[in-house]
Each structure stands twice: as structure tokens, then as C-alpha cells.
Amino acid sequence: MESAIEFLSNGKPYLGLSPIQRLCLIRALIEGAYETYHVNKCVNDNFRDRINAAKALEAEERRAKKEIKDESTRADRAARERLASEARYSLLESKRIQIKKKNKKTNEFTNEFIEEMTEEDIINQDEEAQAEFEALPTPDSFSKVEVANMVVQMQEEEAFDATSLTVLTMADIMAK
């Protein structure tokens, strides 16, 4: 094989080689072509696999972003609902307290009756209560800051597995 390559490298004609040298040379060229084909195929497969992996990664990133957006939307909606619910509860409790104060003067109702009053009973007490009830904020009327603060609070409550969190100062703790 080496003598055949040296023979051709010196510029001598191919037909000057012996038949065995020609067969060895052809075999070496075929093996080289075969190996080149397999290396090329491997490189192409690697490129194709890399492109497919990049596409899969992009699809996974899009899916993750969509999930995050959906979760954020659900958290915002829940926070808005909770803010509206708390505003409603606060109004009802303040009206219940007003009814109790008014009842101390008139003794019209018993305390048990006042505590058992339904939302509709409280709202229908007077026109002012109805107007305040109708003026309550809707879930969509809260600002982004209020919603963001409520989302944070709800996440903290969830993290601590509690229904509500109360932050106490050292003075509050000492007083208790």
C-alpha cells in the first residue's frame, strides 16, 4: 500500500501499478469514502438532534411562561375577589356595629337577633346602607398595587398554611 502511494506521488501512471497494488489502493479509497459517509451522517444527525432539542426547549419555555401567566391571572382574580369580599364584610360589620349602637338607645332588637341578621337584613335597614352597599368596589375596580399587595399576603398565608396573617410589633406582643 505504501509503495503504491509513493509510486503515484512520484508522478508515475496508475496503470504502472501491479494489480494487487491497484486493489489495495481502491480498497483504501472505498474504506475512506465509507468512513467519510458515516462521519458525515453522524454530524448531520447531531445537527438535526440539536435543532430538535432547541425547538423542544423553546416549546417548554413557552409552556412554562403560559403556566406562569395563567397562575398570575388566577392569583390576581382571587386577590380581587378577596378584596371585594373583605370590603363587603367590613361594610356589613360596621353597619352591624351601628345597629348595635342605635339599639342601645332604642332597645328595639336583642343582641342575638342583631348577630343573626343576614346581609339583606342589614342592607335593608335604611337607604344609607343600601347606597353604601351599591357603592362597594367591584373586583375589577381595585388598583394593581392593591391587588399585588393582596397576592403577596395570600401567598404568605399559603406558605404558612394559615387563613390570615397578622403582623405584630414588639409593643403589641408585650401588651398581650
Cell numbers at 82, concatenated: 378577596
Tens-place pLDDT, residues 114-164: 788 888 888 887 888 888 888 888 899 999 999 999 999 888 888 887 766
Determine the residue type at 160: F
Check whether 93 has a pLDDT greater than 80.
yes
Tens-place pLDDT, residues 6-39: 888 888 888 888 888 889 889 999 999 999 999 9
The pLDDT, as a whole number, for residue 165 is 63
Question: Residue 165, CB half-sphere, CA atoms under 13 Å: how many?
Answer: 13
| Cβ 89 vs Cβ 136: under 8 Å | no
| Cβ 99 vs Cβ 122: under 8 Å | yes
Q: What is the mean pLDDT of the chain?
A: 88
**Separation between Cα atoms, residue 139 and residue 76, nearest integer Å:** 10
